[in-house]
Amino acid sequence: MVAPMADPLLTLTNITTRFGAHVVHEQLNLTVHKGEIIGLVGGSGSGKSVLLRTAIGLNRAAAGTIQLNTDQFGVLFQQGALFSSLTVAENVALPLLEHTAIPRQQAYALAKLKLALVGLEPSVGDRYPAELSGGMVKRAALARALIREPDMLFLDEPTAGLDPISAAAFDELLLTLSKALDLTVLLITHDLDTLHTICDRVAVLAQKKILAVDRLATVAQNPDPWIQAYFHGPRGRSAQAQQTAIHQEQ
């Protein structure tokens, strides 16, 4: 677990975002500490993806300040967002080709290394996204997010659409990489197993702000009705029971 007083890598202060008259976030505050994995949860339409895009500068906040204490970060968008007309290796190498002066051949060699790092065979680099399984697409997208040696990863629903075995394998991969590469991770998820398995803290986005942020056990005790329904409904109880069984086996 991350130390509570670790240096902040991302600080969002009094963030307000809106589209026309529609206010998505209002006076929202969130701090992500160096070295932690923090899971962001919230109901559909609560503005989780908007918040991620605002944090990395793709959306402009109407008010508030964003302090991202690194120039190197990687992003895994929903469904992987690989370019269908490019091979997997070309997709992974693209950030290097677009933003650095690295020669093309060297960029492709580095792309193959990143694919190996996320558990994909070298031959996968020559295939196209349509030829991959859902789990392989997510791993390829993760390789692309890692290509520029980031300090922080922003992941939008990284296990959405995966079967339970593939989702669990992706969680374990992310946990291993975060420790090995000293990564800080902010991930949007609806997967309660992910929250229990790899997240140091959980942040709940509701009512246009971060309603609660703490370790999962503490957040789950928040009396807010949405939080209670989310963490203590049938799926929440199932995830908790599964984690309890795993700990007892260990």
As a whole number, mean pLDDT of residues 103-121 equals: 94
The residue type of 178 is: S
The number of CA neighbours under 13 Å toward the Cβ of 125 is: 22
Query: Taken in order 196, 190, 241, 31, is the CA torsion positive or negative?
Result: positive
Alpha helices in the chain (DSSP H): 48-55, 88-99, 104-117, 134-146, 164-180, 192-198, 216-219, 225-232, 234-249
The model carries a pTM of 0.88
Q: Residue 206 is encoded by which pair of tokens?
A: 């509701």
> Which 3 state secondary structure label does DSSP give 59?
coil
What digits encode the pLDDT tens for the residues 59-90? 999 999 999 999 999 999 988 889 999 999 99
Domain ranges of the chain: 8-216
Token pair 């990284």 is found at: 158
As a whole number, mean pLDDT of residues 96-124 equals: 93
The arrangement of secondary structure in 8-216, i.e. its CATH architecture, is 3-Layer(aba) Sandwich (3.40)
CA–CA distance, 120 with 87 (Å, rounded to integer): 14
What digits encode the pLDDT tens for the residues 21-52? 999 999 999 999 999 999 999 998 899 999 99
The pLDDT value given to residue 249: 57
Q: Residue 96 is encoded by which pair of tokens?
A: 């290097």
What digits encode the pLDDT tens for the residues 163-204? 999 999 999 999 999 999 999 999 999 999 999 999 999 999
CA–CA distance, 146 with 52 (Å, rounded to integer): 17
| β partners of residue 138 | none
Q: At residue 239, does pLDDT exceed 90?
A: no
As a whole number, mean pLDDT of residues 215-219 equals: 95
- Cβ-count burial of 190 within 10 angstroms (0-12 exposed, 13-18 middle, 19+ buried)? middle
